[in-house]
Amino acid sequence: MPHYKKAIIALDGHSSKIEDTRIQHNVEYALASLHIPYVIYEPHTRGLKKLQQDMNEEGVLYILNDSFQFHLCDQPNILISRSPQWVQSTPKPNTIGVFTQQMVAVDASQMVACIARNTPVRQHHNLLAATNYILTNEFFSGDTNQMARNGLAMMSWNRLIQEDMHTAVLCHTSEGLPFVNQMLSEALTQCKHPDDIVILLNRDICLVPQATSIIRTYMDLHNYSAVYAQRVDVVTNGLLDFSSIADKQEYEGVDLFAFRPDAPVLEEILPVDLYLARAAWDSFWAYKIKNKLPYKIAYHQAHDSEWQSEKGNDGNRWNYTQISLHRKESDLGVEYYEKYFKGRK
Amino acid sequence: MPHNIIIASIGYKRPEYLKESLDAIMAMDNMDAPIRIFLDLLPDNTLHPEVYALAKSYSPHVLFPKDKQGCNGTIKSALAHCFSIGADAVLVVEDDIILSVDALNYVKWALTHHGDNPSVRNITLWESLHPFPDQNKVVMQKRKFTCWGWVALKREWSAMEKAWTTDRHDTHEGSWDVVMEAHLGGRYELAPTVSRARNIGEKDGTHRGAAMPVSQANCVVADYYLAPIEKPVYVILGRFGDIYMVCKKIQNPSIVCCSKRFVEVMDLFPQHEVVVMDNDILDPVKAASLCAAKYPTHEIIVCQLDQQPSELCKPFRNYQAYQEYYASL
């Protein structure tokens, strides 16, 4: 455990002042749970030299917003950034935690963990902006409900891109169901920067506007090269925000996978041909990746699933067979859905 | 130390200009350098007859290619030839450049004192600004390449030749001098404060039309002295964080131009001079032009634009953040 004599929480400033009281409460909760005394830094008019001095006390942990104090601080610090525009604020070598405001507003446990771990976050490769690629399989459906769901998803990505200009959508097209590993493999060839992230989604999965910033921040925080996330099912005809799905129940399947181009897990999943929209590929990938994003950023209008019908049998069988063939002895097995096996032999 | 200087005169299809240029060369004080005249062919692969006859009347050494080379190719061939026959330095004079009477003396002085200076890439004779009106004998180091009368050094030729433009269509972007400036490698040209050359080529030029004649000053050789390298000017019109991050990475004392609203951050960097811009000046290019007027001989580095040096700037990687900065100012 780190031995900080105290923590200084400085969330004030002209341009990025944090006024959401939940954020300060969760920061205080995290520090108190680790028995680290803390003070709230009070704004003053005694000049920047004084501010610089105050931001560099030995043995102190700083919890800062992305204001000027972050630049001045050369001591261990945790950065709480505005999202999504500010998520690519360059972490310093002494930054032990990065969060977006939304992440801290809903959860204190990740901050507790990062202070306890007390190691620098992933450093960016260089100062050039990286890109998030939303990868999906594009197909035409004559079904009204399907078209509406796909349309809503596309609208949600468009809203996200309006806020996070470093995001682009990659549409995969194929005759028949595509193999997810081939989709991903093609998308990875688009990456030009080591900090790029490919986010694979089903075509009808909507994202909250803060999704890419939370994915990137969480991956930087833990130095993860791959994560997965589960969706929540909603009844809506409009776009939703992070806060509006925060209290929803997660669906058991996995609908979002994010990879950096150098993720070691790619060696294990890319060789396995698995059909999209059929059983178990998502469980297999999630099992291999192991790192789940603990924030709800994806939503979806519930509907009957084709893979659970007779129509899905052949593809499901193919996927299970492939997973079995590529199973290692160390694997414990792949999760399955009870609903699917209910009443089947 | 004597230098083997060859004068390379470049001609094409403007006999009246070439005559004036050659006359000026021949009239230089202490003119003891051999001259080679390089001509390019017309589009039909023939020589301009008047130009050829004129050139032959000034020098027996008139060289021309088998096929038309264009301006870029002609100058490259001229340099390659002069260095191949033993030149240490080649004074390149295009047909619309008029050298001053003391131009060769200046070149000899520059080669003697700075011919081996590794920070000097080439010597130029042209200068437009006359930045030190009371100091005609000052020589500056400028991070530029100026082609209106210049000296190529043998030690630099190999690198220059590799970087030489391959453009055969005489576009501005592909012009040899534009390409040379893009390959400075962080080094300087030696330039006089009072021009030793002027350009008379108002008509029918290949890359540029307008001429900028300037006054000449005849100075006594060996009285020149090198001005200290001026502090660079960094134009940073971001907010506190941007100014701070750039200043933290500037190694040497410099001049920093920033908005009045954020000038307080410069309290943390007393080693730098500060130029304060009014808050209503949001455009770094406009700020840079104001700085250039105030510091005509200094290098101006604009931060937070596309051409910003990436190693210095971008405390935030996201350009949208910059846009937010400017939008909210």
Q: Can you give the CATH number for the domain in which A93 is found?
A: 3.40.50.2300
Domain boundary assignment for chain B: 5-226, 233-328
Is residue A257 located within the same domain as residue A196? yes
User: Closest to B244 (Cβ–Cβ): which among A71, A164, A166?
Assistant: A71
Is residue A18 located within the same domain as residue A65? yes
Quick check: B320 contacting A, CB < 8 Å? yes
A279 lies in a domain? yes
Is residue A240 located within the same domain as residue A113? no
Quick check: B324 contacting A, CB < 8 Å? yes
The token pair that represents A22 in the structure block: 């939940």
A207 or B173: which leads in pLDDT: A207
pLDDT in tens, A298-315: 999 888 777 778 888 889
Look at residues A70, A88, A117 and tell me which one is the last residue of a structural domain: A117
A172 or B246: which leads in pLDDT: A172
ipTM of the assembly?
0.72
- For an interface test with A, the pick among B239, B240, B304 (most A C-beta atoms closer than 10 Å) comes out as B240
Reported as half-sphere exposure (CB side, CA atoms, 13 A), residue A259 has a value of 29
A83 or B91: which leads in pLDDT: B91
- Does residue B65 register a pLDDT over 60? yes
A124 lies in a domain? no
- Terminal-residue alpha carbon distance, chain A: 51
Domain B5-226 carries which CATH code?
Answer: 3.90.550.10
CATH number, domain containing residue A185: 3.90.550
Quick check: A71 contacting B, CB < 8 Å? yes
Quick check: B240 contacting A, CB < 8 Å? yes
Left, alpha or beta for B296 (phi > 0: left; psi -120 to 50: alpha)? alpha
Q: What is the per-residue DSSP string for A184-207?
A: HHHHHTT--STT-EEEEE-TT-EE
Q: Do B267 and A49 touch (CB under 8 A)?
A: yes
Is residue A107 located within the same domain as residue A136? no
Is residue A293 located within the same domain as residue A145? yes
Structural domain count, chain A: 2
> Over chain A, what is the mean pLDDT?
89
Q: What is the pLDDT of residue B205?
A: 58
pLDDT in tens, B101-127: 889 989 999 999 889 988 899 999 988
- Tell me how far apart the alpha carbons of residues B140 and B229 are, in angstroms, rounded to a whole number: 7
Look at residues A117, A151, A173 and tell me which one is the last residue of a structural domain: A117
User: Closest to A86 (Cβ–Cβ): which among B239, B245, B316?
Assistant: B316
Share of chain A above pLDDT 90, in %: 64
Is residue A103 located within the same domain as residue A43? yes
DSSP-derived 3-state class of residue B293:
helix
Quick check: B244 contacting A, CB < 8 Å? yes
* Helices B15-26 and B49-58, packing angle to 10 deg: 10
C-alpha distances in Å from residue B232, one per residue of B43, B183, B184, B256: 45, 19, 16, 8
pLDDT in tens, A134-188: 999 988 888 888 899 999 999 999 999 988 878 999 999 988 899 999 999 999 9
Mean pLDDT (whole number) for B239-261: 84
**Full residue range of the structural domain in which residue A199 is found:** 132-335
Q: What is the pTM assigned to this prediction?
A: 0.68
A181 lies in a domain? yes
- Tell me how far apart the alpha carbons of residues A100 and A214 are, in angstroms, rounded to a whole number: 7
